[in-house]
Amino acid sequence: MDAMTTDISALERDLLARIDAASDEAALEGVRVEALGKQGAISNLMRTLGQMSAEQRQEMGPKLNGLKDRVGEAVVVKKAGLAEAALEAKLKAEAVDVTLPAAPARTGSIHPISRVMEEMALIFGEMGFRLEEGPDIETDFNNFTALNFPPQHPARDMHDTFFFAPDAKGERKLLRTHTSPVQVRTMLSQKPPIRMICQGRTYRSDSDATHTPMFHQTEGLVIDETTSMADLKGVLMAFVKAYFEVDDVEVRFRPHFFPFTEPSAEMDVRCDRSGGQLKIGQGKDWLEILGCGMVHPNVIRNCGLDPERYQGYAFGMGVDRLAMLKYGMTDLRPFFEGDVRWLRHYGFSPYLLPGLAAGLDG
C-alpha cells in the first residue's frame, strides 16, 4: 500500500469516527463541511485527480469516489439518527403524567349542611336506624292528613305551606313542610319493626336571620310492639352526646303539641351562654333543639297498621339550626347564598370524612 492509500484510509477512519461522535446536527454539519465542503479534505483530494497520470487516476479515482460516497452516506445516516433522538427527547419533555394528583389549591369544600347530615346519619346509623327518603313535592295526605292534621285545622296554617295549583283531578300538591311525611311513606311500605331516619329539604314561607323558605330536617321513627318514652329519651340523649361531642348532657322534656304525637314534647339541653360563648351539656340555661313524642294511634291507623298492637316514637329536628349551634354561625341566610368566602371559612375538607371511630372531626 502506498502512502496516499494509507492517508486515505486514515482520513476515512478519522472522519467516520467524528461523524459518529457528533452530538447534534450543528456538530455533524461541521464535520461534513470539513470533509465534503468546497474546501473540504475529500473535495481537495478529488481535485488532485486532475494532475495525476492516467494510470494513477485509474487507481485513485475509484478509491476517492468510494471514500466520498461512504463518508456522505455516514453523514445522512447520522443526521436521521440525530433527528429521531431529538424528537424522542422532545416528546419525553412534553409528556404529562396523568397519574399525578390534581392541584390541591383548587379543592372545593363540603357544605356544613352536608357535613352535619353525614354526622347525624352516622350517629343514628350506629344505633340501628336505616336511612329512608321521600320526595320534596308531597301530597296533602302524606304531609298533613295521615299525620292527623284534621281538615281546616289551624295546625295546617302553622306551617305556611307552599301549595301548587290543583291538577286535573283537583289534587293540590305541596312542597313538604317537614320530613314527617316520610314516616307515612315508610309505614305504608314496610312492616314493623321500623327504625328509620330521613333527612332532607323542607319548605315554609318564612324568612329572617334564623328562617329561610327552604331548610333541612332530620326525622326519626321507631315502630314496634314494646317501645316506650324511656327508649326515646335514651336514644336522643345518646345522640346529643355524640353530636356535640360531650361526655355528659342534661336534657328536659317540655310538654308541647304536635298533631302526630301523643304525648308530645320539645327537648331542651342544658347549656352555658356566659362569656358570649355557647357550651352544650352543662350550665344554667336551656336550649330547645327538637320536637318528639309517642306516635299518635291515629297516625298508625292512617298508615294501615293496628294501633292496638303497634306503637312507637318519633322525633324531628332542624339540621340548619343544629349546624349553627355546633359550628358557631349566627345567620342562616348565608348558608344558601353560595359565597365562596363563606364556604371556605365554614366548609369542610372533602378528604376528612367524619367517622365515629376516628371522631366526628374525621
Q: Does 258 bind ligand DAH (CB under 6 A)?
A: yes
Least distance from C-beta 235 to ligand DAH, angstroms?
12
Nearest in space to 314 (alpha carbons), one of 155, 201, 168, 147: 147
- Burial of 208-225, coded b for 16+ CB within 10 Å and e otherwise, reads eeebbeebbbbbbbbbee
The residue number with the shortest CB distance to ligand DAH is 316
Give the nearer residue to ligand DAH in terms of CB position, either 199 or 261.
261
Could you say which residues in the range 118-137 bind ligand DAH, by CB under 6 A? none
Out of 181, 192, 291, 312, point to the residue binding ligand DAH (CB under 6 A): 291
CA distance linking residue 175 with residue 183, whole number of Å:
16
Least distance from C-beta 152 to ligand DAH, angstroms?
19
Could you say which residues in the range 207-226 bind ligand DAH, by CB under 6 A? 219
Draw the binding track, 34-73, toward ligand DAH (x: CB under 6 A; -: no contact).
----------------------------------------
CA distance linking residue 244 with residue 114, whole number of Å:
16
Q: Does 178 bind ligand DAH (CB under 6 A)?
A: yes
Least distance from C-beta 261 to ligand DAH, angstroms?
4
Give the nearer residue to ligand DAH in terms of CB position, either 260 or 348.
260
Give the nearer residue to ligand DAH in terms of CB position, either 181 or 354.
181
Which class for 330: exposed (0-12), middle (13-18), buried (19 or more C-beta within 10 A)?
exposed
Q: Does 292 bind ligand DAH (CB under 6 A)?
A: yes
Which residue in the block uniquely carries the three cell numbers 294501633?
A: 307
Torsion sign, CA atoms 255, 259, 261, 262:
positive
Q: How many residues bind ligand DAH (CB under 6 A)?
A: 11
Q: Does 293 bind ligand DAH (CB under 6 A)?
A: yes
SS3 content of the chain, % helix, strand, coil (to 5): 45, 20, 35
Give the nearer residue to ligand DAH in terms of CB position, either 112 or 291.
291
DSSP state of 247: S
Give the nearer residue to ligand DAH in terms of CB position, either 235 or 314.
314
Centre a 10 Å sphere on the Cβ of residue 322 and count the other Cβ atoms it contains: 21
CA distance linking residue 90 with residue 94, whole number of Å:
6
Least distance from C-beta 220 to ligand DAH, angstroms?
7
Region near ligand DAH per CB under 6 A, out of 73-81, 85-93, 168-176, 312-320: 312-320
CA distance linking residue 281 with residue 217, whole number of Å:
22
Q: Does 312 bind ligand DAH (CB under 6 A)?
A: no
CA distance linking residue 203 with residue 270, whole number of Å:
29
Could you say which residues in the range 314-343 bind ligand DAH, by CB under 6 A? 314-316
Helix (H) or strand (E) holding 100: none
Positions touching ligand DAH (CB under 6 A) are 178, 180, 219, 258, 261, 291-293, 314-316
